[in-house]
Amino acid sequence: MVVPIFRIFDLEKAKEFYINFLGFKLDWTHQYEEDMPIYCQVSLNNIVLHLSEHHGDSSPGSTIRIKITNIKKYHSKLQEMKYHYSNPCLEKSPWNTVELTVIDPFFNRITFYEEIL
């Protein structure tokens, strides 16, 4: 399994985006000491992401693509959330996919996609 690491700068903003908006769950957090950066794992079905406040773990503004099924249903769920900072739309690509791109508060980009048969 490949587990991408995204750089974050604020756990509460990350929770608002990944958990409250995208529907991920917080699996665990790790912090060496109270005032040190946080490292955590979020997941949604079989999708697992690591989020890190540690300098050097990843660069802000990274991009990943995640294959999902029933992208229209997921899009509808996101529309119902009425998240103030994102209103993603479905787009058909020239390479026969339907795609939904979201950008987190730290400029990391996730493109969810489903292949058109």
pTM attached to this predicted model: 0.93
Task: Note the pLDDT of residue 84.
Answer: 86
For each of the domains in the chain, give its residue range(s) and CATH number, in order of start. Answer: 5-115 (3.10.180.10)
Task: Note the pLDDT of residue 19.
Answer: 97
Check if the beta carbon of residue 18 is closer than 8 Å to that of residue 41: no
| CA-wise closest residue to 89 among 74, 104, 106 | 74
Task: Note the pLDDT of residue 31.
Answer: 94
Check if the beta carbon of residue 51 is closer than 8 Å to that of residue 6: yes
Task: Identify the three-state secondary structure at position 71.
Answer: helix
pLDDT tens by residue, the chain, 117 residues: 899 999 999 999 999 999 999 999 999 999 999 999 999 999 999 999 999 999 888 888 999 999 999 999 999 999 998 888 888 999 999 999 999 999 999 999 999 999 998
* β-sheet with 5-7: strand ranges across: 5-7, 47-52, 39-44, 25-30
| CA-wise closest residue to 39 among 60, 54, 59, 25 | 54
